[in-house]
């Protein structure tokens, strides 16, 4: 169901709660997989309705502390609409997210990380290389945005959006990685595979052995195969991998839903 599709009040509330739970799950999973950066970086999700409102983490909480019930609701300008914890948000964090949400109706979720592997690859002149099955899914589908300093200047948003274009994965050079998805699940899975791609690249480079570079045709074919799979999952509205990740959380972090 499209996030802005007309629904009854009860149906809308159900959608909102599902987005809250999925977003809280993404925060917990990013922590569990070691992809968080203290209280920094963010994952945001658009809420249904014409008001252009979004959920994001309270500023000051670590990702393992985020719950469905303590997410902050903000508008497109970052003004707080609802803040259960009274902690507010990180303005620098929402600068990037608001730019993408405003420009891309399909970007229900925007996820940004500063991992060691992601930052290291973002500093490489060639960026992410299509060396293996994980990274080949991004062949020809990666955007790049040059570093302009900490994201406090609102005028950077236009350049960031222009660099992103219609792509769903971006390398923020000298900074980190970003994914956007038609669902929280899609944004998370893209980042999970992107992070593994970065780690694999660094491992290969550190080994120093000659690398096998797949042809551009094989890389493009693989990227297309992945894209069709993502499309199929989004169209079906069910995602076995995402459900499996959430079952893992049910065993270790059951309070993420509260």
User: Whole-angstrom Cα distance, residue 56 to residue 27?
Assistant: 10
74 pLDDT above the threshold of 70:
yes
Angle between helices 240-252 and 9-32 (to 10 degrees): 70
pLDDT in tens, 171-189: 999 999 999 999 999 999 9
pLDDT in tens, 199-227: 999 999 999 999 999 999 999 999 999 99
Beta bridge partners of 109: 45, 181
pTM summary value = 0.93
Span 9-247 CATH architecture: 3-Layer(aba) Sandwich (3.40)
């Amino acid at each position: 169901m499209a996030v802005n599709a007309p629904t009854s009040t009860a149906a809308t509330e159900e959608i909102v709660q599902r987005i809250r739970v999925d977003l809280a799950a993404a925060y917990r999973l990013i922590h569990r997989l070691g992809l968080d950066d203290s209280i920094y970086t963010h994952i945001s999700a658009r809420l249904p309705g014409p008001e252009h409102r979004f959920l994001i983490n309270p500023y000051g909480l670590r990702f393992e502390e985020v719950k469905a019930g303590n997410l902050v609701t903000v508008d497109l300008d970052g003004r707080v609409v609802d803040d259960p914890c009274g902690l507010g948000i990180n303005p620098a964090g929402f600068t990037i997210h608001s730019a993408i949400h405003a420009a891309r109706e399909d970007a229900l979720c925007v996820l940004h990380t500063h991992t060691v592997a992601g930052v290291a690859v973002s500093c490489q002149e060639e960026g992410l290389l299509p060396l293996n099955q994980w990274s080949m899914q991004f062949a020809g589908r990666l955007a790049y945005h040059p570093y302009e300093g900490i994201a406090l200047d609102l005028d950077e948003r236009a350049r960031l959006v222009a660099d992103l274009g219609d792509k769903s994965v971006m390398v923020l050079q000298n900074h980190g990685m970003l994914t956007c998805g038609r669902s929280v699940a899609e944004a998370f899975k893209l980042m999970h595979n992107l992070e593994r791609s970065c780690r694999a690249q660094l491992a290969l480079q550190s080994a120093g052995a000659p690398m096998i570079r797949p042809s551009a045709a094989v890389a493009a074919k693989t990227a297309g195969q992945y894209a069709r799979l993502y499309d199929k999952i989004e169209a079906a509205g069910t995602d076995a991998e995402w459900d499996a990740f959430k079952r893992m959380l049910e065993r270790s972090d059951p309070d993420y839903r509260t």
